[in-house]
Amino acid sequence: MAKRLKYWGWGYEGDGLQPAQTEALLRTLRDGYGIQATGDGGGPSALEALTMGPARLDPPANLAPICRTDAYERALHAFGQSQPDSIRIFAGDFAHAPDVVAYPETAEDIQRLFDWCAIAGAALIPFGGGSSVVGGVTSDVGSGFNGVVSLDMTRMARVLEIDDVSRAARIQGGARGPDLEAQLKPSGLTLRHFPQSFEHSTLGGWIATRSGGHFATLYTHIDDLVENVTMATPAGEMTSRRLPGSGAGPSPDRFMIGSEGALGVITEAWVRLQGRPTYKATAGYRFGDFFAAARAVRAVAQAGLYPANVRIVDGTELHVNGAGDGSFTLMVVSFENADHPVDAWMARAEECCLDHGGQIDVAWRDNPRANLEGAVGAWRDAFIRMPYGREQLTPRGIISDTFETAITWERFEDFYHAVRDATADAVLAATGKPGAVSCRFSHAYPDGPAPYFAFHGQGRPGAMLEQWRAIKAAASDAVIRHGGTITHHHAVGRDHQPWYEEQRPAVFGDVLAAAKSRLDPTGMLNPGVIVR
Amino acid sequence: MAKRLKYWGWGYEGDGLQPAQTEALLRTLRDGYGIQATGDGGGPSALEALTMGPARLDPPANLAPICRTDAYERALHAFGQSQPDSIRIFAGDFAHAPDVVAYPETAEDIQRLFDWCAIAGAALIPFGGGSSVVGGVTSDVGSGFNGVVSLDMTRMARVLEIDDVSRAARIQGGARGPDLEAQLKPSGLTLRHFPQSFEHSTLGGWIATRSGGHFATLYTHIDDLVENVTMATPAGEMTSRRLPGSGAGPSPDRFMIGSEGALGVITEAWVRLQGRPTYKATAGYRFGDFFAAARAVRAVAQAGLYPANVRIVDGTELHVNGAGDGSFTLMVVSFENADHPVDAWMARAEECCLDHGGQIDVAWRDNPRANLEGAVGAWRDAFIRMPYGREQLTPRGIISDTFETAITWERFEDFYHAVRDATADAVLAATGKPGAVSCRFSHAYPDGPAPYFAFHGQGRPGAMLEQWRAIKAAASDAVIRHGGTITHHHAVGRDHQPWYEEQRPAVFGDVLAAAKSRLDPTGMLNPGVIVR
């Protein structure tokens, strides 16, 4: 029997943290930050016990074969992977679950779903891997619809063509990361797009949410990996021309990228591939001061070296994740390439790190296992298991969330203080304890970093949702007030929509509303996201 | 007295080809390609002799101080720098000249111009340096308006702020290339965006037309150099947030970039700067076969080296421009950097060239003057003077034009044959002689090149416009039919609009029309371009 996805958390049933890993995390939060687990972390409510009404929609005969209405499917598609989603899941709050889950196999199926939803007065929520941490797939659309259909793309998951001359592939929107890479592997090529959600997110989801890959510079955002996009809309299909570059009018690709299921469903795309890297080097440096490390990142980012990785992780973030004692900031630098040795690149980047006071944690010369060693390796292990933490923390009454942004360098230090302090103050106000607020950089540009914050706080049983809302609002207000973006790669979703509306030019909001009226006249597509 | 811009061609009065340069060009076209000059190339009609009616619009008192209605200003703003523009200029066909030329000095001036044009029923054509080669500023808007106003941005030309930490500057839209760089120079930073039109084009024009810079890879398109954009529209100002990166919804920047004056006027932008390069290397290689050279470009482009230049120029293009005898294709490779020596990069790129059969034309090691030597230097000189050729050729009855596109590598060879043959056939059909058709690459991506074609043909006095139209239509049809983009960096303008409408997704055309209705309800802005 195939592994089943959890309806209450990350990944497949049976996968998760080892008990010792959970213990270590809880111990650090308790001893280091005064955050006490409450309850025993018992699992979620059984399917039968969830608050979920009968399905209000009845798919027509031509759609019935691809539609599911059983409790498991409805529960699985009711939420994404955000902190508020998790809190509601463990409270058994599934009243808003979708009435129908549809698994289209063709573009025609999707068009038929549009037609039916228009007639039925239903909302339609595109669903890829369901990994949204910002409420992007949460099927809570208010009372303006006669029901909700979740459109699960994962049966449209094939690599349709591989072009090994131009290094590109045509891939269906529902392909998850591992499946997509497995289909590419015989060609020797890779999309090399590894968001943290890689295992449980899809190409269409990456395009819809402007996903950021694991790599820190250059071709890492899905925006830059797309040659064309095909998006199904109730008004017809939008397929841009497959091109390496173009200057013909405003980019139709960049209009579809980031549309978050509110303007259409990404059914396929041509994407740029690369040779699998054979030359690699990784190094780790310790800094006593987070800002000194940030200046080293700036030096590397402005040197025109384009490392695969140039990331800093502050002491708290390392400590909470068991990769440091809190006394130092770690900087990881790596280069990789399918064509040529990277020594000249790495040597110059190292100079930048040492110039700014870095101490070598893991050396790169003649060290192919550098990425597994020292704080570098410990952080890597923690990073991989991170998504599994929430299902342990939420039922133990511990609030744990992240948010990410970008800001230009000259504003970074003030921005950091303002956002960090606002978040810490809000954690204290909401929970009565200081909790933990930490920061790392997920990406670095010549003109600024993408700071990635995490916070942990003591929850109160029954009040966690409002505690989280207060902290999230304070942090988001600070991000917007001090010039950042409300999201660098997590996307807008329902959770960021109010701040997104502050951020975007008002007149551009009007343009998006006009576009939505044209493409989705009944407003069925992912209501409440991007356009309200 | 300040130098005056020519109303009949490129640059300032008094600047142009030396007589010997014109002679050499005419001799090559005659002896090499059978294209005979007719007439003596006498200058354009005097201002007084141009066919130009009285101005039909009378600016209100609050705008009169920034408005001009004299014949010189109207003539200067009647055309851009395209081949059909040039043919009409030398025919004295200025009946469509704008009635008023406005030089706004503030965003408020622009808003007042919008208000007045709405009341007056006038069209408004944003004008930067006037270098459009695709009819983007040609003030021929048909009979649906009571008059035409040309909005010249060049009095809004200041660098307003320089941020040397993030390496960025806030610059007004009307700043021309040399002015902009002169204002940046004290900071030691450069925008390093050098389109061939650099001297007579503006930041706002670059953003409006998705300009491509001189450099062949990586950060060369203005699209990638923009941190934010401010665009004035009749519905209000649209200012995106200044950010190094963002994932918040469809990019408002990418919506304004490429809007070609049809959705608004780019008044200012924050743009990314770089350190002035200090480490440089250039090399030249000769190939007997254009496709072998193309494969060398592909190898370099897919190696992850990101050269400043990786360009091939075919034998005909070299020959016509006096930089070769027609027997070889030239490949120019260069790297430059403000941070570190480029030897490791250059050495690997050279291996790619030699692997594909390249012969060294100019060596790079210990050769700081490589870019001035051999065919590399000859081509460089020709490239700089190229825009001055048209004012010599048009009045001598010689049709001379270029068009550029992009295509993925796996389709490139077939595409090249199809487009080249269609163009050559059309030159023969239209002129009765084979003429000359040549190709170079202006930019190279890992997934495909940007081929740049040129054609020369024998014109017939009085029929040149229709001859050009036939050739242009055949070439454009072939580009679109065989999968290319109608423009890689010249823009859409009036000349490419029909093919642009074939290229873009129809549903996206509807979105742009909806956006235009919202932003420009009276349809005053650059009518006929992007949205018809």
pLDDT per position as a tens digit, B47-76: 999 989 999 999 999 999 999 999 999 999
Contacting residues for B303 by C-beta, under 8 A, at least 6 apart: A339, A340, B348, B349, B352
pLDDT of A487 reads 98
Burial class (CB in 10 A: 0-12, 13-18, 19+), B523: middle
Interchain pair A247, B272: CB under 8 A: no
Helices (H), B171-310: 177-184, 203-209, 222-225, 252-256, 290-301
Interface-testing mutation among B162, B243, B412, with chain A (most A C-beta atoms within 10 A): B243
List of chain A residues whose C-beta atoms are within 8 Å of the C-beta of residue B308: none
Residue B46 has a CB neighbour count (10 Å cut-off) of: 9
Residue of chain B whose alpha carbon sits nearest to that of A300: B339
Per-residue confidence band for B1, with pLDDT thresholds at 50, 70 and 90: low
pLDDT of A2 reads 75
Per-residue confidence band for B174, with pLDDT thresholds at 50, 70 and 90: very high
Interchain pair B515, A519: CB under 8 A: no
pLDDT of B384 reads 86
Contacting residues for B503 by C-beta, under 8 A, at least 6 apart: A241, A248, B480, B485, B486
Interchain pair B168, A447: CB under 8 A: yes
Helices (H), B222-368: 222-225, 252-256, 290-301, 315-320, 343-355
- Nearest-Cα distance to chain A for B29, in Å, is 31
Distance CA A156, CA B299 (A): 33
Name the amino acid, one letter, at B257: I
Residue of chain A whose alpha carbon sits nearest to that of B233: A507
Interchain pair B272, A485: CB under 8 A: no
Interchain pair B241, A500: CB under 8 A: no
Distances B346 to A72, A345, B6, B310 between C-alpha atoms, Å = 58, 13, 42, 11
End-to-end CA distance of chain B: 42
Residue of chain B whose alpha carbon sits nearest to that of A218: B218
Name the amino acid, one letter, at B414: D
Provide the whole-model pTM: 0.97
Distance CA B283, CA B218 (A): 19
User: Order of strands, edge to edge, in the sheet holding A168-172?
Assistant: A159-163, A168-172, A265-272, A226-233, A236-239
Residue of chain B whose alpha carbon sits nearest to that of A210: B247
Q: Number of A:B CB contacts under 8 A?
A: 295
- Nearest-Cα distance to chain A for B396, in Å, is 32
Distance CA A219, CA B224 (A): 12
3-state helix, strand, coil in chain B (%, to 5): 35, 20, 40
- Contact predicate A344/B346, CB 8 Å: no
pLDDT of A219 reads 84
Interchain pair B510, A503: CB under 8 A: no
- Contact predicate A222/A207, CB 8 Å: yes
Distance CA B199, CA B205 (A): 12
Interchain pair A251, B248: CB under 8 A: no
Residue of chain A whose alpha carbon sits nearest to that of B206: A247
Interchain pair B250, A259: CB under 8 A: yes
- Which among B298, B448, B504 has the least Cβ separation from residue A248? B504
> What is the pLDDT averaged over residues B222-240?
97
Q: Is the dihedral of CA B490, B494, B499, B502 positive or negative?
A: positive
List of chain A residues whose C-beta atoms are within 8 Å of the C-beta of residue B208: none
Q: Which of B397, B335, B328, B400 is nearest to B364 (CA)?
A: B335
Residue of chain B whose alpha carbon sits nearest to that of A224: B224
Interchain pair A210, B247: CB under 8 A: yes
pLDDT by residue, tens only, chain A of 532 residues: 578 999 999 999 999 999 999 999 999 999 999 999 998 788 898 999 998 999 999 999 999 999 999 999 999 999 999 999 999 999 999 999 999 999 999 999 999 999 999 999 999 999 999 999 999 999 999 999 999 999 999 999 999 999 999 999 999 999 999 999 999 999 999 999 999 999 999 999 999 999 999 888 888 899 999 999 999 999 999 999 999 999 999 999 999 999 999 999 999 999 999 999 999 999 999 999 999 999 999 999 999 999 999 999 999 999 999 999 999 999 999 999 999 999 999 999 999 999 999 999 999 999 999 999 999 999 998 988 899 999 999 999 999 999 999 999 999 999 999 999 999 999 999 999 999 999 999 999 999 999 999 999 999 989 999 999 999 999 999 999 999 999 999 999 999 999 999 999 999 999 999 999 999 999 999 999 999 9
**Beta-sheet pairing, A147-152 with A122-127:** parallel
- Nearest-Cα distance to chain B for A232, in Å, is 10
- Contact predicate A283/A350, CB 8 Å: yes
Distances A144 to A97, A115, A528, B408 between C-alpha atoms, Å = 15, 18, 11, 46
pLDDT of B328 reads 97
Residue of chain B whose alpha carbon sits nearest to that of A189: B302
Burial class (CB in 10 A: 0-12, 13-18, 19+), A115: middle
Residue of chain B whose alpha carbon sits nearest to that of A506: B238
- Nearest-Cα distance to chain B for A445, in Å, is 6
Distance CA A181, CA A124 (A): 29
- Which among A486, A496, A508 has the least Cβ separation from residue B255? A508
- Nearest-Cα distance to chain A for B525, in Å, is 15
End-to-end CA distance of chain A: 42
Per-residue confidence band for B504, with pLDDT thresholds at 50, 70 and 90: very high
Task: Determine if residue A530 is left, alpha or beta; phi over 0 gives left, psi from -120 to 50 gives alpha, anything else beta.
Answer: left
Name the amino acid, one letter, at A341: P
List the beta bridge partners of residue B274: B190
- Which among A243, A248, A406 has the least Cβ separation from residue B246? A406
Planar angle of CA A368, A372, A373, nearest 5 degrees: 95
- Which among B238, B258, B507 has the least Cβ separation from residue A235? B507
Query: What DSSP line would sit under B131-189, residue for residue?
Result: --SSSSS-----SSSSEEEEEE-TT---EEEEETTTTEEEEETT-BHHHHHHHHGGGTE
pLDDT tens profile B271-323: 999 999 999 999 999 999 999 999 999 999 999 999 999 999 999 999 999 99
Q: Is the dihedral of CA A206, A208, A209, A211 positive or negative?
A: positive
List of chain A residues whose C-beta atoms are within 8 Å of the C-beta of residue B245: 221, 406, 443, 445, 448, 450, 485, 488
List the beta bridge partners of residue A403: A453
Contacting residues for A373 by C-beta, under 8 A, at least 6 apart: A284, A362, A367
Q: Is the dihedral of CA A396, A399, A404, A408 positive or negative?
A: negative
| Coil vs helix vs strand at A79 | coil
Interchain pair B258, A237: CB under 8 A: no
- Nearest-Cα distance to chain A for B259, in Å, is 6
List of chain A residues whose C-beta atoms are within 8 Å of the C-beta of residue B338: 304
Give the CA dihedral B352, B353, B356, B362, nearest 10 degrees.
-160
- Nearest-Cα distance to chain B for A521, in Å, is 13
Name the amino acid, one letter, at A527: P
List of chain B residues whose C-beta atoms are within 8 Å of the C-beta of residue A339: 302-305, 348
List the beta bridge partners of residue B125: B150
Interchain pair A167, B503: CB under 8 A: no
Distance CA A39, CA A396 (A): 5
